[in-house]
Amino acid sequence: MHDPLLSLRRLGICALALITACLSSCSPPEIARIPVQFTGGHDTDPVDHGRPVVLIAAALGVEPDVFRQAFSGVNPAPAGTAPSGERVHENKAVLLATLGPLGVTNARLDEVSDYYRYSPGPGELWKVREAEAVALVKQGQIIGFEIEDGGAGYTTPPTIRVSGFPSLRVAAQMHFGTDLKTNGSIKGMSVAD
């Protein structure tokens, strides 16, 4: 004997199984998160003799050329030696003569100078925090980037590589400002043309 209710139940179960199978095979592909590698980004202008002037100037709230002009009157101690107290005082007076009218105080000049002070040499840098980011990949294509930490201390855009995409060129958008923790950071990334 044929039970119409049983047939409807079987049909319903089959339809549910078919819908479930379609949804699982038709669901959007997963987005992979591939770590990005940053290298370099710490170049300085040859006229600055290794000083990270773009960082120092941004931290002081002035343009790099303004800081260079102010620094042109400074008489630094010979390499590998500490300046005398008198020389420090004279150099600071020279810097503040130009920077003071622009709102740079003695205390801020000391803070920024101390923060970016380092001994130039192979492998030596001022304070740097490496950026951390991932490339968002869907169906083998990069659809965007997610910056987890923009880093700090970059003077120029670093080289950016994504594993599995050897010919990909990525451009970094930089941020320079008065906050020492984010000065010289990566604020954006995009695939370059």
What is the pTM for the complete model shown? 0.80
- The whole-number pLDDT of residue 95 equals 94
3-state secondary structure of 156: coil
Q: How confident is the model at residue 35 (pLDDT cuts 50, 70, 90)?
A: very high
- The whole-number pLDDT of residue 3 equals 62
Cα–Cα distance for residue pair 175/186, rounded to 1 Å:
6
pLDDT, tens only, 79-131? 667 777 888 889 899 999 999 999 999 999 999 999 998 877 778 899 999 99
- The whole-number pLDDT of residue 8 equals 46
Q: What is the 3-state secondary structure (H, E, C) of 19-38?
A: HHHHHHHHCCCCCEEEEEEE
Residues ≥6 apart with Cβ < 8 Å to 44: 50, 51, 52, 53, 54, 155
- The whole-number pLDDT of residue 38 equals 96
- The whole-number pLDDT of residue 16 equals 47
Q: Compute the average pLDDT of residues 161-186.
A: 95
Neighbours of 190 (CB within 10 A): 13
- The whole-number pLDDT of residue 104 equals 97
- The whole-number pLDDT of residue 9 equals 55
3-state secondary structure of 175: strand
- The whole-number pLDDT of residue 120 equals 75
Q: How confident is the model at residue 33 (pLDDT cuts 50, 70, 90)?
A: very high
Whether the pLDDT of residue 22 is over 80: the answer is no
- The whole-number pLDDT of residue 89 equals 86
What's the maximum distance between 2 C-alpha atoms anywhere in the chain? 112
DSSP bridge pairs for 135 = 34, 145
Cα–Cα distance for residue pair 135/163, rounded to 1 Å:
9
